[in-house]
Structure 1
Amino acid sequence: MDIGQMVSIHAEKTGFSGVVLLKERNQILVEKAFGQADRSNNLSNTLDTRFGIASGCKLFTAIAICQLVEKGILSFDTKVSDCLDIDFPHFDSEITIHHLLTHSSGIPDYFDEAVMDDFADLWKAVPMYTIKRLHDFLPLFQSQHMNFQPGEKFSYNNAGFIILGLVIEQQTGVEFTEYIEKNVFRTANMMESGYFELDQLPAHTAIGYMDKENGTWTTNIYSLPIKGGSDGGAFITAQDMMKLWDSLFAHKLLNESMTNALLTPYVCEKDEEYYGYGIWITKREGEIFKYHLMGYDPGGSFHSSVYPNSQVKLVIPSNKEKGPYGITCEIEKLLSL
């Protein structure tokens, strides 16, 4: 079966809503859009539709930090207390940039999955429409106590990337989203991507939908911070995300040495699943099988992978809460990746 046909059949069967962009070297194998960007107005997703990618954009933050290290402004061993003038009364003074980038700092997260299982519940105490800047996240975790000692283990942590964004702002004097749009998106020629506010989304941007078991749905406008930041929330087109991968591996965003530092598997989450700087790294029999990103928010999901041995790149953004992972697995099977 042709891979494009397989993707279409799977998308129709599962109700996938989003875009699938698959490229091998310089050849596009699949480029298709499915579902609706705006259900109320019956507007379809297109290849030019922008999607929120949740935690998929932690890579952008990591690239920005690596740019500052490349310029000598920071090092990966720089302590947070030496590069950020914000008081965290109960945080360990030995926390470094490396710890934050690899989710091994031990700091508390602002969304504790052990206590809450619905991200939207977070905004009952702090309205999501008040979260527009990185500093707005601080009251959610700033005065809490450490969960473990820095470097002790891997524990996925959004608050750590909020702190990294604040470091970028202090060290550059530029608001985080402005820095990323200029030094990552524009450098990679990602001209359609950006950090947009949910209550004033630009044209050609998919609305995020949460489907209910009774067949009804709601949008995600009351479930997310009104504007994304350094831990998630950018909007991209599939083509722009492919440009990001191409620019990263062509060393247009970072020099070769710094690119290799970003793509190094530093900490093991489980079995052969590792984490580099803002990026997941899967090994098979000890060798790197793929670099990948994933993001999940109410009303959105995202997977994107690079398979270095076969030079295959895959981008799948969606404006529903699931879908990209299943298509990724089907493509890996069909291409014998």
Structure 2
Amino acid sequence: MKKLCAILIPLILTGQLVYPQTESEKRQTIFSYLNGLAYPEFSGVILLAQRDSVCFKKAYGYAVIEDNVENNFNTLFNTASITKTMTAVATLQLVDKGLLDLDIPIGRYLPKYPNQTVQDSVTAHHLLTHTSGLNNFLVDDFKTMGKLKLKTTKDYLPLFSSESLLFSPGTQYSYSAAGYIVLGLLIEEITGKDFHKYMNENVFKPAEMYNTFALPIDSIIKNKASGYTSYFGEINHLSKNDSFLSKANPAGFYYTTAENLLKFFNTLKKYQLISKDLTSKMMSPLVKGYYTNYGYGISVDKRFDQTIVGHTGGWYGVQCELMYFEDDEITAVILSNIDTEEGKGMNRVSNFIKHVLANKPMMN
């Protein structure tokens, strides 16, 4: 199979992709499409790599629209829920060290957790797979509240800890930001370290992710992309998303670059962050999610001709995705600072890449 960066004739017909295509033709079809993208169709950065070699990267649009500041390869983007994959790795490191049992109720580790039912029935396995019954907490109260006071992991507890479980743990799947906050509390309690300090020392530093940060929402940082929301296509103009954000927490909102996300995944799949056995289990289809299967903090998509593992991130003014195509050994990182309705922006780019690599036709 030729390298991803081979230069061949584009094979795009009016309205529809050529089908089927050879491996090399599929890759060049993707390059042609990505090179033809332009703002406002997409704003952000796209990076493709095969194995360890980056073969495509391009920045589009503006980091600060009102000042005409363009995005570049070093622009920091909010990653929303891709953060959950990083938190899952940190949790599994404790399992590797024998400090955490995935199947023991969390009350053993968090005896002061303010909900006895959760203490007695929820395990780290449930939290990692979104089968705990804890709610998502990212609802109207969170959207409208002042978030400057959310500085530590425990500051999020009042948003959900008094709520009853949605179902008996282990019986259903329900995507839960609250579950990942509790994982952060477990990490802090077991290690005796602040969550962000632990992440910096044990995840980001080993992966050489030196441009990954938990930024306060009122901070002024060079080369950070502002977020712009259309309320996912509900309005026809863009608004700044500052009021929707909080400082990074175990469930979301770390800022990073496309290159740093590639480093993270490369380090992970080489078993340099957690053991081979746990990495394999993390990327296995442990439960059925809404559209795909879910492992430990990562989706396992088997709807295509090859398995795609990764995670999406979506919030007001944030749309992003990290994907790894197992057969082709291709990693795709898509980071955008503008949300769009379904079928446009980041979603359209992601779906195009998936459909081409899966050799399935898709309307252009």
Aligned residues: 325
C-alpha distance in 1, partners of 2:143/2:115? Answer: 22
Task: Name which one, 1 or 2, has greater alpha-carbon Rg.
Answer: 2
C-alpha distance in 1, partners of 2:87/2:72? Answer: 27
Opposite residue 133 of structure 1, the aligned amino acid is: T
1:273-284 matched pairs, under 5 angstroms: 273-284=292-303
C-alpha distance in 1, partners of 2:207/2:221? Answer: 21
1:133-144 matched pairs, under 5 angstroms: 133-144=152-163
- TM value normalised by structure 1: 0.91
**1:12 CA drift (Å):** 2.0
What is the SS of the residue equivalent to 1:333? helix
Q: 2:244 aligns with which of 219, 223, 236?
A: 223
Please say if residues 33 and 45 of structure 1, whose CA atoms lie closer than 8 Å, have aligned partners that are also in contact.
yes
**1:288 CA drift (Å):** 5.9
Task: Tell me which residue corresponds to 1:60.
Answer: 86
Task: Tell me which residue corresponds to 1:25.
Answer: 51
Task: Tell me which residue corresponds to 2:67.
Answer: 41
Task: Tell me which residue corresponds to 1:76.
Answer: 102
**1:59 CA drift (Å):** 0.5
Opposite residue 95 of structure 2, the aligned amino acid is: V
Task: Tell me which residue corresponds to 1:334.
Answer: 356
Give yes or no for the alignment of 1:243 onto 2:263.
yes
1:117-266 matched pairs, under 5 angstroms: 122-124=142-144, 126-211=145-230, 216-225=237-246, 227-266=247-286
Give yes or no for the alignment of 1:100 onto 2:100.
no
**1:168 CA drift (Å):** 0.5
Identify which range, 127-136 or 184-193, moves more after superposition.
127-136
What is the SS of the residue equivalent to 2:211? coil
Which consecutive unaligned segments of at least 5 residues does structure 2 have?
1-9, 11-27, 360-364
Change (3 A) 1:328 1:133: same
Change (3 A) 1:76 1:278: same
**1:193 CA drift (Å):** 0.9
1:109-120 matched pairs, under 5 angstroms: 109-112=136-139, 116=140
**1:57 CA drift (Å):** 1.0
Please say if residues 24 and 311 of structure 1, whose CA atoms lie closer than 8 Å, have aligned partners that are also in contact.
yes
Opposite residue 105 of structure 1, the aligned amino acid is: S
C-alpha distance in 2, partners of 1:157/1:32? Answer: 33
What is the SS of the residue equivalent to 1:181? helix
Give yes or no for the alignment of 1:269 onto 2:295.
no
**1:218 CA drift (Å):** 2.1
Please say if residues 85 and 297 of structure 2, whose CA atoms lie closer than 8 Å, have aligned partners that are also in contact.
yes
What is the SS of the residue equivalent to 1:16? coil
C-alpha distance in 2, partners of 1:92/1:160? Answer: 13
C-alpha distance in 2, partners of 1:289/1:59? Answer: 17
- TM value normalised by structure 2: 0.84
Identify which range, 288-297 or 213-222, moves more after superposition.
213-222
What is the SS of the residue equivalent to 1:294? strand
Change (3 A) 1:92 1:109: farther
Change (3 A) 1:134 1:62: same
The percent of aligned pairs where both chains have the same amino acid is: 31
